[in-house]
Chains A and B, each alone.
Chain A
Amino acid sequence: MLTVENLTISFRTDEGRITPVQDVGFSVAEGRTLGIVGESGSGKSVSTKALMRLLPGNAEIGREARMRYTSKSGEDIAIEALKPGSRALRRLRGGEIGMIFQEPMASFSPVYTIGNQIMETVRLHRGLNGTAARDLAVEMLTKVGISNPGARVDQYPHELSGGMRQRAMIALALSAGPRLLIADEPTTALDVTIQAQVLDLMRDLQRDLGMGMIFITHDLGVIAHVADDVAVMYLGTIVETGTAREVLKSPAHPYTRGLIKAIPRLDRLDARLEAVPGDIPSPSARPTGCPFHTRCAEAIAGLCERVTPPEVRLAQGRRVRCHLHDETRAVA
């Protein structure tokens, strides 16, 4: 339902051009969840904001970028070609693609009640008014497991706890009936017991509604339990994709391997953690060649720092950007 190809995003800043996303491609199928994992500065949020055309004014989407989305009515939309402020774009945002952010307090308006904000969405995208809109708002709040929804609907965001607010945020995003839901670190600000509740809820809702979902997180533990497919990002490129099981069980890229080894696990207390050496370079000083070569223990001298690795296809539809897997390398 969504295919992204050759997405490059750059920003004009006072210090020159920086390119936080370089040549990224991924796709999401109906009813499946794509997990995007990456550390800070990997470009995971920026690339999904481009899908909603929510990038700030100094951002530029590269000319070769293709973002194809199939709408509810079956028509193909080229997201990159939509005019800012156009009707089609407004219909896409919310109505076709819903979004949930990390900090629900920042995404709700503090001066309107939860109900008001859900009803506004319902009015815009579903054409319901008055009591019908209100009933739907209450129904959505019930669906996300908010107790006493009839009263909560008239409360302001600050009156709800963090977990409640995130549930209300999910209700808001779902009330427009999107086909695709983008969740940007939706549980990062929550406590673990509340996170477990929200993850459960999102999985159930997705199954019931058959939505596609893009789930952005830095937590591989969360990925293991919500995502069908996963894309690992590092410094603006996708270094590895595949099913979540395959990638976590047998990571192909040295970065993914390093990341998995660096995670402290609860069932292994004694072993010393293996850190990935060095620091994440800043996006304005992006290394040439493979972006990971500065920290990679297996880097091939004379190659990795010069040549950007091609995307190599492995078994089971997996893809990895690494010279180590490139069998044509010796020939070239």
Chain B
Amino acid sequence: MSRGDSETLFEIRDLEVSFDVGKRGFFSGTRKQLKAVDGVSFDIRRGETVGLVGESGSGKTTVGRAILRVIEPSGGQVLYHGRRGDLDLAHATSEELRAARAEMQMVFREGGLDLAPLGPRALRPLRSRMSLVFQDPYSSLNPRMTVRDIIAEPLVAGGLMRDRGQIDARVREIAARCKLDLEHLRRFPHAFSGGQRQRICIARALVAGPDFVVCDESVSALDVSIQAEIINLLKDLQEETGVSFLFIAHDLSVVARISHRVAVMYVGRFVEYAPTESLFFHPRHPYTHALLSAVPEPDPDLPFRPERLQGEIPNPADAPQGCRFHTRCPFARPRCAQEVPDWRELTSDHYVACHYAEEFDFRRARETAHTDPVKEREPT
């Protein structure tokens, strides 16, 4: 991390998001509610990448969007600690920029600003402080805009810059940082490959110098050889700009590589949140353990013994009582079906929601003898 090491950027407290899922009967008028996110609490530090993993329907995308206020939370707080005066836009010289800055400072207060109750107008000046990179780089770029206009859009829409020359300079700078060919700025997105498109999306997300970017399955659609490059790029950009990422993905090995801390979600709740090393090598929740054991590693010598979970992931509209994992947990006891486990800090910075976490010690082997077969056979 480059700066402001342990400074908190976001505090999320008991975040809840529910969706209406259609009426029960035509005349009854009672709506059924689906709690996609049910009481999630965690914090995100400045310059940090928080990984969020979970299987489909766990609510990980919803958490990311609720923090950005793309969707409305139905409960809880999203406290945002703004940068107060230190905007970190590379070219913070223009009048417009200063004005935008002053406007934003007004809404930052001691103790953080709760985004959850803010209306669209109040959120407006904050929009350029946060951004989103989507999964599919094919559908998230407007085919009728040039790459230059796509990347410039947040600056224009946020009213951060008005001078064309200034915008061009900023676009060129961020494009170069994202390893895009400056010649390409005049072209349209259809001319680009998946990896190049994702670099355009990243440039667009970072052009306004945000504090926070949600990457929602941003490398999942890419081929392995391209994926590695995007992961490295995101890491470098974080080093340079101090931006925080919420990195949402279902692929655990990708998340492990990019995140400082990782949260595991299961049917609308967090089950574990810990620094990457301790989560991956010393998980405390049976679900985290099962998830990790199910990842096949590309090494035929490593035994592949996935923890056999019974049954399927429950439907969030019909979530189990007590601990939500108890229906599939190999260690479930009667208490698990009745009492919701507390979200507690088991050891320093290691949070878990399990009644019996103290008893579990699922240590995972690190790579032992470090012989790299690839290097050994290098032809001469």
Contact = CB atoms under 8 A, between A and B. Distances in A.
B366 interface: yes
Nearest to A249: B373
Interface stretch (B23-31, B68-76, B108-116, B286-294): B286-294
Contacts of B256: 264, 266, 269
Contacts, number: 158
Contact of B294 (A193, A248, A277): A193
Interface in A186-211: 191-197, 199-200
B120 interface: no
A298 B380 CA distance: 10
Contacts of B308: 196-197
Interface stretch (B35-43, B165-173, B228-236): B228-236
Contact of B250 (A39, A191, A196): A191
Given A193-B291, A266-B253, A218 B56 contact: no
Contacts of A124: none
Contact of A275 (B226, B276, B294): B226
B291 A248 contact: no
Interface string B286-318: 000011111111111110101011011100000
B296 A225 contact: yes
Point out which of B292, B293, B299 has the most chain A C-beta atoms below 10 A from its C-beta.
B299
Interface in A268-294: 268-269, 272-277, 279-280, 282
A265 B297 contact: yes
A213 interface: no
A219 B296 contact: yes
Contacts of B235: 272
A264 B193 contact: no
A225 B306 CA distance: 12
A161 B223 contact: no
Interface stretch (A6-14, A132-140, A251-259): A251-259
Nearest to A295: B225
B299 A248 contact: yes
B106 interface: no
B91 interface: no
Nearest to B259: A269
B252 interface: yes
A273 B236 CA distance: 12
Contact of A269 (B227, B280, B373): B280
Contacts of B302: 224, 267
Interface size class of A (residues with CB under 8 A): 35 or more
Nearest to B192: A279
B56 A162 contact: yes
Contact of B193 (A161, A220, A280): A280
Given A191-B313, A221-B298, A325-B379, A273 B257 contact: yes
Interface in A10-61: 39-40
B294 A266 contact: no
Contact of B225 (A194, A221, A259): A259
A263 interface: yes
A324 B379 contact: yes
A224 B296 contact: yes
A224 B223 contact: no
A276 B295 contact: no
A180 interface: no
A267 B277 contact: no
A276 B82 CA distance: 38
B193 to A, nearest CB: 5
Given A269-B257, A273-B232, A218 B374 contact: no
A222 to B, nearest CB: 5
Contact of B232 (A162, A193, A275): A275
Contacts of A199: 296
Nearest to A271: B257
A307 interface: no
A163 interface: yes
A77 interface: no
A250 B373 contact: yes
A262 B227 contact: yes
Given A224-B297, A250-B373, A251-B377, 6 more contacts: A191-B56, A222-B296, A264-B253, A267-B365, A272-B232, A275-B226
Interface of A: 39-40, 147, 161-164, 191-197, 199-200, 218-225, 244-245, 248-252, 257-269, 272-277, 279-280, 282, 295, 298, 324-325
9 contacts: A192-B55, A196-B296, A225-B296, A248-B298, A250-B377, A266-B364, A267-B365, A269-B276, A325-B379
Q: Which 3 A-B pairs have the closest CB atoms?
A: A196-B306, A275-B229, A276-B225
